[in-house]
């Protein structure tokens, strides 16, 4: 198979999945990350279980199904206090969807990524980036072949919403897996640029302003026409550090609560990025950028000079911040 070809894989047989452990979960987001393997193969698998959003139609049906005579359809009262009461409902299967994402075969990097760990705050100066972070990233990034497969129209074309084919300022707008397109209020898309030399914010210079302005203009025109969501209802932002090193921008409705990576320590709004590059050509080459890393991640060990085993976090963080 030539490099870049899409690997043909059979659908996963979950009846043969062998559970090993829960790597992480988030009750608030209704999501769990599970490690295991499939019977007959020793390769690890990471399975992500996520409750799908509730639509108006689904809510109506869930409440109506509780009228049936079946035992499971009867609401189970949890508490009652004045005007407040709580219940457990057990809706029928068609109303109890769970989205499942499978990474298989999964590498140690994938398992590390989705495992629960203590977080460390990184204050990344330009010097720290040049001396420790950039050399590490050149040899240790996740493969972005899956991104190239999309950009080359070899995979996931059903998720492509819009494309500007220009090599210099072009991009592809795709639906993020987190959004099922049932409700515009949950909108989450990704913009992937065609320029493969761009990996993260650190690579942006003033010469990329035409591309960024083109993205901003055309994405807002498209989302307004298609979803009635204009620039007053959407956030366009970068992650730093990004989860993968091909430049991409998140497009998220402002009605989405706690958007992934949208916090002040990781999210960088496109409009602010454009403004910073207008002020200074190499702003993101020189800037100090903050983000969090999992304590046991390889990059954290390099940044904080961690030996194998536990470390004195406070001392190591102070050492790193003096760079």
Question: What DSSP state is assigned to residue 133?
Answer: I
Lowest-confidence pick of 174-188, 208-222, 272-286:
174-188
Q: Are residues 135 and 282 in the same domain?
A: yes
Q: In the prediction, which pLDDT does 3 show?
A: 46
Q: Is 211 annotated as a binding residue?
A: no
Q: Is 239 annotated as a binding residue?
A: yes
Count of domains in the chain? Answer: 2
Q: Are residues 140 and 187 in the same domain?
A: yes
Mean pLDDT confidence for 165-193: 93
Question: What DSSP state is assigned to residue 74?
Answer: S
Q: Are residues 140 and 256 in the same domain?
A: yes
Q: Are residues 88 and 219 in the same domain?
A: no
Q: Is 244 annotated as a binding residue?
A: yes
CATH of the domain at 284: 3.30.428.10
Return the closest-CA partner of residue 173 out of 184, 181, 162.
162
On whether residue 6 sits in a domain, the answer given is: no
Residue-averaged pLDDT of the chain = 86
Q: Are residues 94 and 217 in the same domain?
A: no
Chain segment 208-255, per-residue pLDDT in tens: 999 999 999 999 999 999 999 999 999 999 999 998 999 999 999 999
Chain segment 50-102, per-residue pLDDT in tens: 988 888 888 888 887 655 555 556 788 888 888 889 888 888 877 888 889 99
Q: Are residues 263 and 139 in the same domain?
A: yes
What is the Cα–Cα distance from 269 to 122, expressed in whole angstroms?
20
Q: What range defines the domain where residue 211 resides?
A: 117-303
Phi, psi for 183 (deg, rounded to 5): -135, 125
What is the Cα–Cα distance from 86 to 185, expressed in whole angstroms?
27
Q: Is 194 annotated as a binding residue?
A: no
Return the closest-CA partner of residue 293 out of 238, 243, 259, 252.
243
What is the Cα–Cα distance from 272 to 285, expressed in whole angstroms?
15
Band (321; pLDDT cuts 50, 70, 90): very low
Q: Which of residues 100, 126, 153 is at a domain's end?
A: 100
Q: Are residues 153 and 293 in the same domain?
A: yes
Q: Are residues 138 and 233 in the same domain?
A: yes
Return the closest-CA partner of residue 123 out of 300, 310, 309, 307.
300
Q: Which of residues 66, 100, 134 is at a domain's end?
A: 100
Q: Which residues contact 141 (CB under 8 A, 6 or more apart)?
A: 244, 245
Q: Are residues 277 and 133 in the same domain?
A: yes
- Cα four-point dihedral sign 310, 315, 321, 323: negative
Q: Is 241 annotated as a binding residue?
A: yes
Q: Which of residues 54, 74, 100 is at a domain's end?
A: 100
Q: Are residues 175 and 84 in the same domain?
A: no
What is the Cα–Cα distance from 195 to 199, expressed in whole angstroms?
9
Question: Do 105 and 44 contact (CB within 8 A), yes or no?
Answer: yes
Catalytic residue among 188, 194, 208, 248, which?
248
DSSP string for 282-308: THHHH--EEEEEETTSHHHHHHTTPPS
Q: Is 248 a catalytic residue?
A: yes
How far apart, in Å, do the first and last CA atoms of the chain sit? Answer: 45
Q: Are residues 38 and 144 in the same domain?
A: no
């Amino acid at each position: 198979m030539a490099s870049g070809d899409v690997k043909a894989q059979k659908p996963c047989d979950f009846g043969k999945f062998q559970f090993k452990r829960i790597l992480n979960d988030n009750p608030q987001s209704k999501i769990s990350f599970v490690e295991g393997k499939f019977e007959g193969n020793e390769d690890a698998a990471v399975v992500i279980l996520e409750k799908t959003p509730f639509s108006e139609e689904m809510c109506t049906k869930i409440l109506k199904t509780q009228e049936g005579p079946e035992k499971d359809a009867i609401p189970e009262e949890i508490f009652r206090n004045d005007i407040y009461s709580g219940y457990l409902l057990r809706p029928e299967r068609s109303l109890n969807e769970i989205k499942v994402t499978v990474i298989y075969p999964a590498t140690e990097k994938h398992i590390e990524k989705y495992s629960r760990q203590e977080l460390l705050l990184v204050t990344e100066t330009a010097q720290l980036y040049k001396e420790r972070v950039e050399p590490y990233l050149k040899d240790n990034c996740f493969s972005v072949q899956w991104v190239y497969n999309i950009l080359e129209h070899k995979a996931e074309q059903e998720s492509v919403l819009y494309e500007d084919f220009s090599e210099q300022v072009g991009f592809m707008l795709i639906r993020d897996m987190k959004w099922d397109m049932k409700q515009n209020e949950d909108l989450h898309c990704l913009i992937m640029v065609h320029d493969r030399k761009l990996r993260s914010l650190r690579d942006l210079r003033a010469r990329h302003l035409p591309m960024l302005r083109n993205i901003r203009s055309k994405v807002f025109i498209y989302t307004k026409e298609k979803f009635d969501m204009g620039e007053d209802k959407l956030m366009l932002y970068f992650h730093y550090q990004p989860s993968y090193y091909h430049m991409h921008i998140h497009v998220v409705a402002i009605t989405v609560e706690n958007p992934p990576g949208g916090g002040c320590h990781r999210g960088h709004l496109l409009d602010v990025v454009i403004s910073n590059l207008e002020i200074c050509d190499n702003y993101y080459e020189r800037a100090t950028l903050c983000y969090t890393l999992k304590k046991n991640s390889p990059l954290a060990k390099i940044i904080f000079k961690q030996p194998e085993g536990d470390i004195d976090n406070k001392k190591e963080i102070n050492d790193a911040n003096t760079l």
